[in-house]
């Protein structure tokens, strides 16, 4: 990254225009002062979830978006409201309102994609000078993968296999884009598992096997062993499926045994939200040492030595909810084991730790820029006064105003999918045809589900607890 130099002071003739220019710059920055970050927009909703009140959480998000009901969407989804719609859709999953959940998640998916595509030079300038959250939101890889995963969950819960398959194909497209960009795809496993299930149950075994092979690339799903023995007839051909099935041989299908194939998914807790954090400049320089250029590192040290800069603001991860808990499942009163499908919280923290040096570097870069702006405003004030005695005072005031305004406007970018569950656990069992009672428990919430198992049929049960 190139070092940042202060802007050129204006000549005497251009002093008036320069002062007007700096005045507009300062006014623009002042307009941002007092604007809280994204964390303030979701605080009431998250507090309601912590109290076990998902209905109140949904109402809070509707109020934040100026919507009267959950049937409405924001007029413009190319704004950060797309994230609030995504949060609302996830909460609708906890409420069991699957139609609204899939509607919201699908709308948010399109909105966030448009936000990503709409980023331009103005966004970059705003992030460079004012604040990280000025520009359009760019979703991290794990959020892109999980949006389609949750879309599949919602459609499976509604028994809509064709829609679930569409989400599965979208997931495959996202996977290809991320792979081409060499981004982390660890969180693809559970989505590929669910997509494989959708294709399997819709009578597309070959496509199902492709998704299952991909799922096993990212995690060892023991619950897939028996279904794969059925699909491969005991003769697996791809590496990961071979490793799982081994020499176990074929297994009769549920159609042959007159049983029902039941898939249970439990999602609980919440990933750590992003929150504003203020740290000393010395610690910031240490955190950003691998990303900061030598020139900017030296410039920041110089400013710190002069006492011009003492603190740096940046977005950090907050506290996780329920990351270390486990879920409990019973069928007709008999305990059934669940396996970990995904430690979402761990993947979120890993992604953040990899990005943290760059995040802190951006904060330091803005700090250096603010000082450069202050110095230039000071020079413009002096030059614009045509050397009269008050020129120094005007320049000093202009410099202080510019620095103070830009510092106050520096709001750390705390935007994220705040209701994304921290953990996901999965089970897959065969049950005899007939009525069965499933009880699923997580984070102090229990859900009883009665299924009518049909011979050769399937069922999907989901519990989402966002606290």
pLDDT of residue 195: 98
What is the DSSP pairing of strand 458-465 with strand 259-268? parallel
What is the DSSP pairing of strand 434-442 with strand 328-331? antiparallel
179 Cβ contact list (under 8 Å, min separation 6): 185
pLDDT of residue 123: 44
Q: Mean pLDDT across the chain, nearest whole number?
A: 85
Question: What CA–CA distance (Å, rounded) separates 454 from 291?
Answer: 58
DSSP state of 377: H
pTM of the predicted structure, to 2 decimals: 0.84
Angle at 446 between CA 348 and CA 437, to 5 degrees: 120
Domain boundaries, the chain: 1-31+259-467
pLDDT of residue 93: 98
Distance of CA 391 to the CA centre of its chain: 50
Q: Which two tokens stand for residue 281?
A: 């400049």
Question: What CA–CA distance (Å, rounded) separates 312 from 333?
Answer: 55
pLDDT in tens, the chain (467 residues): 444 344 444 443 444 544 454 445 445 544 444 457 899 999 999 999 999 999 999 999 999 999 999 999 999 998 899 999 999 999 999 999 999 999 999 999 998 886 565 544 444 444 544 455 556 788 888 898 999 999 999 999 999 999 999 999 999 999 888 888 878 777 889 999 999 999 999 999 999 999 999 999 999 999 999 999 999 998 999 999 999 999 999 999 999 999 999 999 999 999 999 999 999 989 999 999 888 888 888 888 888 887 777 888 889 999 999 878 899 999 999 999 999 999 999 999 999 999 899 889 888 888 787 777 666 655 665 665 555 555 555 554 444 444 555 455 567 889 999 999 999 999 999 999 999 999 999 999 999 999 999 999 999 999 999 99
Query: Using one digit for the tens of pLDDT, what is the confidence trace for 274-305?
Result: 999 999 989 999 999 888 888 888 888 888 88
pLDDT of residue 295: 87
Altogether, the residues listed in the chain come to a count of 467
Helix (H) or strand (E) holding 399: helix 391-408
Please state, in angstroms and as integers, the Cα–Cα distance from residue 187 to each residue in 174, 219, 382, 452, following that order: 12, 9, 57, 32
Alpha helices (H) in 33-139, listed in sequence order:
38-50, 54-64, 81-95, 98-117, 121-129
pLDDT of residue 312: 87
Please state, in angstroms and as integers, the Cα–Cα distance from residue 33 to each residue in 27, 29, 105, 186, 211, following that order: 10, 7, 32, 39, 49
Q: Closest by alpha carbon to 154, among 64, 86, 79?
A: 86
pLDDT of residue 125: 41
pLDDT of residue 133: 59
pLDDT of residue 388: 56
């Amino acid at each position: 990254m190139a070092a940042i130099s202060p802007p050129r002071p204006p000549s005497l003739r251009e002093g008036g225009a320069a002062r007007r220019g700096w005045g507009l710059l300062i006014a623009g920055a002042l307009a941002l002062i007092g604007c809280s970050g994204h964390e303030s927009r979701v605080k009431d909703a998250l507090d309601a979830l912590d109290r076990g009140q998902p209905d109140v959480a949904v109402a809070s998000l509707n109020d934040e978006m100026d919507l009267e009901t959950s049937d409405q969407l924001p007029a413009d989804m190319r704004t950060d409201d797309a994230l609030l719609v995504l949060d609302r859709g996830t909460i609708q999953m906890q409420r069991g309102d699957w139609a609204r959940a899939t509607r919201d998640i699908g709308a948010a998916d399109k909105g966030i994609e448009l936000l990503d595509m709409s980023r331009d030079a103005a966004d970059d300038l705003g992030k460079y000078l004012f604040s990280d959250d000025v520009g359009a939101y760019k979703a991290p890889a794990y959020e892109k993968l999980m949006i389609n995963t949750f879309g599949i969950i919602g459609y499976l819960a509604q028994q809509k296999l064709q829609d679930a398959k569409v989400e599965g194909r979208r997931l495959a497209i996202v996977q290809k884009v991320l792979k081409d960009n060499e981004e982390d795809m660890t969180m693809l496993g559970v989505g590929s598992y669910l997509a494989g299930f959708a294709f399997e149950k819709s009578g597309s075994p070959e496509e199902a096997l492709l998704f299952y092979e991909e799922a096993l690339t990212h995690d060892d799903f023991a619950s897939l062993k028996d279904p794969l023995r059925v699909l491969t007839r005991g003769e697996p051909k791809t590496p990961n499926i071979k490793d799982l099935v081994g020499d176990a041989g074929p297994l009769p299908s549920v159609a042959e045994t007159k049983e029902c194939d039941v898939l249970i998914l439990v999602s609980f807790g919440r990933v750590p939200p992003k929150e504003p954090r203020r740290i000393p400049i010395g610690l910031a320089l240490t955190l950003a040492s691998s990303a900061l250029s030598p020139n900017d590192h030296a410039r920041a040290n110089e400013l710190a030595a002069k006492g011009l800069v003492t603190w740096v603001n940046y977005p950090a991860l907050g506290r996780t909810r329920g990351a270390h808990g486990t879920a409990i499942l019973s069928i007709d009163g008999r305990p059934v084991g669940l396996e970990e499908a995904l430690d979402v919280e761990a993947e979120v923290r890993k992604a953040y730790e990899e990005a943290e040096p760059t995040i802190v570097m951006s904060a330091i870069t803005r700090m250096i820029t603010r000082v450069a702006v202050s110095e230039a405003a000071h020079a413009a004030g002096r030059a614009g006064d045509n050397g009269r005695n008050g020129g120094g005072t005007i320049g000093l005031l202009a410099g202080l105003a510019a620095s103070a305004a830009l510092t106050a406007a520096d709001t750390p970018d705390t935007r994220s999918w705040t209701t994304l569950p921290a953990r996901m656990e999965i089970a897959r069992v065969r049950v005899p045809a007939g009525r069965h009672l499933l009880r699923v428990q997580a984070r102090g919430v229990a859900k009883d589900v009665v299924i009518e198992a049909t011979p050769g049929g399937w069922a999907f049960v989901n519990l989402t607890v966002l606290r």
